[in-house]
Amino acid sequence: MSWLHFAVFTPFLFTLFVPLLNKSFRRVHTGWFVLIIPLLLFVYFLGYFPLDPAMAPVIHSIPWIPSLDIHFTLHLDGLALLLLLIITGIGALVVLYSIYYMSMEREALHNFYIYLLLFMGAMLGIVLSDNLLVLYVFWEMTSVSSFLLIAYWYQRGRSRYGAQKSMLITISGGFAMLLGFLMLYTASGTLSVRELIAMSSQLSEHGLFLPAMLLVLLGAFTKSAQFPFHIWLPDAMEAPTPISAYLHSATMVKAGVYLVARLTPVFGGNIEWFWIITTVGAITLFWGSFMAIRQTDLKALLAYSTISQLGLIMCLLGIGSNALNADYSEQALLFSGAALAAIFHLFNHSIFKGCLFMVIGILDHETGTRDIRKLGGLMGIMPVSFTLTVIGGLSMAGLPPFSGFLSKEMFFTGVLTAARNMNDWLVVLPIVAWVASILTFVYCLILVFRTFTGKYQPDRLDKTPHEAPIGMLIPPGVLALLVIVFFFIPNVVGASLLRPAMHAILPQLVADGGTFDVHISAWHGFTMELAMTAGIIALGSLLYIYLKKWSGIYDNLPRRFTLNNLYDSGLNSIERASLRFTNTYMTGFLAHYLSYIFIIMICLTGGTLLGQGVFALNMENNSEIAPYEYVLGISMVIAAVFVVFSTSRLMSIIAVGAVGYIVSLMFVLFRAPDLALTQLVVETITTALFLLCFYYLPKMRRELTRLRFKLSSLVISLGVGISLTLIGLSVQDHNLFEPIKSYFENSYQLAGAKNIVNAILVDFRAFDTMLEIVVLFTAGIGVYNLIKLRQARRNEK
């Protein structure tokens, strides 16, 4: 148990105290107590900060289930540290923000903060885990806590819908990922990421390598809202805004990106990895930015913008992984620039998107709406919020002097590198990236100018807007400040945070002691990237100005074939199909269920007898048949068949009794006196019981069933009869070993009994007899209770 383990467990431990604090300090906002945790953790993780570029990873391990090779191994390297600082830093700001956002009087704050802390702990666990199964445990914990947070206002139908949707999608992805992890374990024999990296070159020849890669990617894509699994993210916007800011922009959706970055050293050398991630990322990038323009709800706009930006990061990680590909190793350093751009943008996006969500929350809080059509002209009323939105929005659009500009330029460098050095088809990639960036620019302008400039419509707002309290403005203010600061000193971040992270993503490149040269600058000279940015600004502005003229194309999109409809109707039809299926065979008729049992029995026994060639007819050793034995057999058959056709209950009883007595006579023939005796007595009593009961039961009617049912019953019963006959005949030929009867013939010496059957019953195998007595006893008690219970009820009445 190290301090690092303690740091991961701290949020979980603190959840125990949250309800207590909430109850005992009714006048203090519970958030103030919770704020301590992310702050402490942030400071603690800052302690690892002054790193040398090739930071030696900090590893602490405690055994959890050693027999299954599951160890609670924590592994802190550059990549983990970057995310840890984002999680705890933005976590602290979000908690501070939520203190002002969440009302102390109206909300169940203890629930809110418990879920939030659970999420924070789980996220720390994902980032620090070295063991894949431990990572999976934390992964699912983020899904569950996110589910709880989305449905925080569980009285609303939309919240529950969004929570269920995100749960179904992320958990399905999680299961796929678990399967992938298990495949990796089968292929490599280890669950440790570090050991997997060490043996990545042998691994890629294993047959399970590619399936494992696909399944793990499925998990990463569902979590990071990549196309076509992005549909849960816009619906997750029903969560309180601090949650949207924290989970659905800065942290949880980065888990998939983190996983891809973390496993790049394992899978990265394969071209499939590059193609899948880059393609999916590019599609997501384009589709997210395209759909964002259409949204009228500010949070939905930000959700699609998050999707788009995550696609961008994925795309860059895909290109970056090519640095490990042997075919392109000459350009390795060029490709590694894309990976650097990915993590730099990951960092930037967390900051500006957190800031933007918080400002939208302020707008919602102060005006009562998030609808763009109702907002407008708020610049003069809320100047601080306006400034923060401009900073966040323009950073997202990729304009100087904001840090988003830097990562955007690096993004273009990345896609251009891919287009220049690889397949000719990849020329498409910079074009897609460029168009998506133009669309990004347009929705950023919509975000900033539609809400704050234009006509002020006070009559359409629920509240009289005014500037937010200072406490609510501090967290987005801090983030906005960082956006500007990082533009001017990007290399401080680059050297201290990004460089160690690069060492974690592409360790093979620096195996011989080298380091990455991380140098980010705002000015590259007159390059292609700059021209692209200029084009974005020009075209984007034009598109924004003439937005009304071309936004009609969104109405022409086929409504029925959207992914959301596909999801909804898919879910519905699964439900309906399974209901229909269940109703088909679960009819409630005993006859149907018995038919299933008998049909399966016929198929199994008959199939085995005939299919396996077990059936044999060997009459050699058969004993001879006396004529009167024929008579017995035939009369038994007649009696039995008579029961089927009888419509009188008395005649049926007599026929059943006749069958029983003939069985008893058979036992006499087969030299079984005890059996004959017992059968005689039992048959008599059973017949008496039948008579007793039939006296109370209604007259037996003709079977009023359809002919088809009768025919199918006939076929089934004949099938059972025939297969049992065949079994009875085949046994004669299969004398596997001698019977053990000679042992029982010692009954006089061993048990002092001359009647061997009785000796077996009470001496050799007396346990059977004892339990048979218990059965009889239980049946007696059952009969007694059945009759007594009715009387008791009658007496009550």
- Per CB under 8 A, contacts with another protein among 760-779 are 760-761, 765, 768-769, 772, 775-776, 778-779
Single out the residue of 552, 351, 541, 352 nearest to residue 449, CA to CA. 541
Among 20, 610, 616, 689, binds another protein (CB under 8 A): 689
Among 272, 327, 517, 674, binds another protein (CB under 8 A): 674
> Rounded to whole angstroms, how far apart are CA atoms 490 and 481?
13
Q: Provide the token pair at 163.
A: 């929570």
Among 3, 585, 696, 737, binds another protein (CB under 8 A): 696
Residues in the chain: 797
Q: Interface with another protein by CB under 8 A: which range of 31-39, 319-327, 454-462, 756-764?
A: 756-764
Closest contact distance (angstroms) between CB of 755 and another protein is: 5
Asked whether the beta carbons of 237 and 325 are under 8 A apart, the reply is no
Closest contact distance (angstroms) between CB of 157 and another protein is: 23
Q: Interface with another protein by CB under 8 A: which range of 368-376, 377-385, 460-468, 752-760?
A: 752-760
For residues 296-319, one letter each, b for 16 or more C-beta atoms within 10 angstroms of the residue's C-beta and e for the rest, the string is: ebbbbbbbbbbbbbbbbbbbbbbb
x/- contact string, 554-593, with another protein (CB under 8 A)? -------------------------x---x----xxxx--
Site membership for another protein, residue 172 (CB under 8 A): no
Among 625, 707, 736, 792, binds another protein (CB under 8 A): 625
Strand (E) or helix (H) holding 74:
strand 70-76
Identity of the residue, 182 or 643, whose beta carbon is nearer to another protein in the bound complex: 643
Site membership for another protein, residue 747 (CB under 8 A): yes
Identity of the residue, 296 or 725, whose beta carbon is nearer to another protein in the bound complex: 725
> Rounded to whole angstroms, how far apart are CA atoms 300 and 304?
6
Single out the residue of 16, 13, 230, 223 nearest to residue 136, CA to CA. 223
Identity of the residue, 104 or 756, whose beta carbon is nearer to another protein in the bound complex: 756
> Rounded to whole angstroms, how far apart are CA atoms 397 and 400?
9
Identity of the residue, 225 or 636, whose beta carbon is nearer to another protein in the bound complex: 636
Asked whether the beta carbons of 241 and 357 are under 8 A apart, the reply is yes
Closest contact distance (angstroms) between CB of 647 and another protein is: 11
Among 573, 596, 678, 750, binds another protein (CB under 8 A): 678
> Rounded to whole angstroms, how far apart are CA atoms 188 and 206?
9
Closest contact distance (angstroms) between CB of 765 and another protein is: 6
> Locate tokens 């048979």: which residue?
772
Interface residues for another protein in 322-361 (CB under 8 A)? Answer: none
Among 1, 707, 787, 792, binds another protein (CB under 8 A): 787
Three-state DSSP at 58 gives: strand
Q: Interface with another protein by CB under 8 A: which range of 193-201, 229-237, 398-406, 733-741?
A: 733-741
Closest contact distance (angstroms) between CB of 210 and another protein is: 43
Among 40, 51, 481, 729, binds another protein (CB under 8 A): 729
Site membership for another protein, residue 537 (CB under 8 A): no
Asked whether the beta carbons of 151 and 159 are under 8 A apart, the reply is yes
Three-state DSSP at 462 gives: coil
Identity of the residue, 701 or 797, whose beta carbon is nearer to another protein in the bound complex: 701
Q: Is the peptide bond before 465 cis (omega within 30 degrees of 0)?
A: no
In 483-538, the DSSP E strands lie at: none
Among 66, 627, 739, 752, binds another protein (CB under 8 A): 739
Among 619, 707, 736, 792, binds another protein (CB under 8 A): 619
Site membership for another protein, residue 275 (CB under 8 A): no
Query: CB-based contacts of 675: which residues, under 8 Å, 6+ apart?
Result: 664, 667, 757
Identity of the residue, 549 or 793, whose beta carbon is nearer to another protein in the bound complex: 793
For residue 16, with 0-12 CB atoms within 10 Å meaning exposed, 13-18 middle and 19 or more buried, which class applies? exposed
Three-state DSSP at 70 gives: strand
Asked whether the beta carbons of 21 and 114 are under 8 A apart, the reply is no
